[in-house]
Chains A and B, each alone.
Chain A
């Protein structure tokens, strides 16, 4: 009897230790972070980069409940130790951040090229990636922003569809393709990745 109870307790403990912690992603909390910091820097909590579009997305993801991932392959974290910051490539680079989310199983819900006014299936809390000059690997001349739909979708033509907040250039509730600021919108790849609520 005693040995059975011990085994049950031990088994439960092992399950707790071995099982990956359940991730709960709250898109509203993430979007609220983007709304709070779209035009400023949260230096008290995170490192600042000159080109901080992706680190801004990472901060919002973390605010939404995405936890650091130190696993092999493509980790995602920003740690401070003895006054110095250590960040993974996926924290601040578009290619790596996109790769991280895809690796974690977050689906690409929209992928379009050269589209200016079509709407998207993205929702609040999604991440929008841009490859300005059509590099399908998102290795160069790329960008990331955060979807912040707060009251459904913008409906005034032609700017209908998802709205985003973003750095490096501060953007607040801008139309999702950012075509107003991109004379090369006709060759830009825009992808929307949907972080899963749980996995």
Chain B
């Protein structure tokens, strides 16, 4: 009888273990929670200051696209970002990194779409349906999450003038930095500064837009005191002439 009970217990335990989802997050660095980019704090410790975007060399297509996006008529204020602008490291909006069953989800306050990074072992699909943020797969290399992104639709909002170095320009007429549908973005995300800062080394390879690839490092500070709030953009549209978030209807 005792043997039977032990057997049943063992079978039940085995069934439970087989049924349980593997915990992708066990033993991984504590990157969870709310983070705010350091870009808006000139006095931040220089070790955690965003590196400036380099002076890029556009292809003909990239130059035309950047110029198009710099005009006030385009594009729409409320459209999603490209993945590089999602990770721009500015200080106006926090994002939250949340554990998901198949990887992680980034919830960036001003974005209408979450960013999903899968690290359940999958690869990019052979034939990717394009999306605003593209398809991101990651793998942990020790304490660093290496993320590979392709499959963008090339219509995401660009990096804006302030982050691309236009800090002295009151008219913000410096180039927007777009990415195309041929973007290949590789990121190395890790905790630094006693786990109080998050570093993302971003390499952008986009031969349709830029003549060569380039790398920047962006930083976020851990901000448990902040919440990621609701942001529904298309709620208070104004005519173009009335203000700087004016939009064409």
Do chains A and B interact in one complex? Answer: no
Which residues from chain B sit less than 8 Å from chain A, CB to CB?
A: none
Which residues from chain A sit less than 8 Å from chain B, CB to CB?
A: none
